[in-house]
Amino acid sequence: MLKGNVIITQGTITIRANRIDFKQNPDNSLSATAYGNPLAFRQKRDGLDAYDEGWAQRAVYDGSKDQLELFDNAILRRGTDEIRSNYIS
């Protein structure tokens, strides 16, 4: 577990949070649960010079699936498009 002003980067994704708990998956990839008020993430889009970014109270990143789930007051922004929900995957 890391606490404080935590910043983690894996590949093109960066997550900034107050606390991040880690776990190693059976395939040796890393998964993490991040908490913030709010936390923030940013990821470069494949093949483009553009980024997806989002905010939430909690995020779960599954490294074996390369999947990020946002929970509670979640916002996802892609270019000028924006989605707000209690859950975004």
pLDDT digits (tens, 9 = 90+) for 10-50: 788 899 999 999 999 899 988 999 999 999 999 998 888 89
Q: Where are the alpha helices (DSSP H) in 1-89?
A: none
More confident position, 12 or 56: 56
Report pLDDT for 63. 85
Q: Tell me if 53 sits within 8 A of 13, measured CB to CB.
A: no
> Which strands sit side by side in the sheet containing 30-44, from one edge to the other?
2-10, 13-24, 30-44, 51-62, 67-78, 81-88
Distance of CA 31 to the CA centre of its chain: 11
Two tokens, residue 7: 């910043």
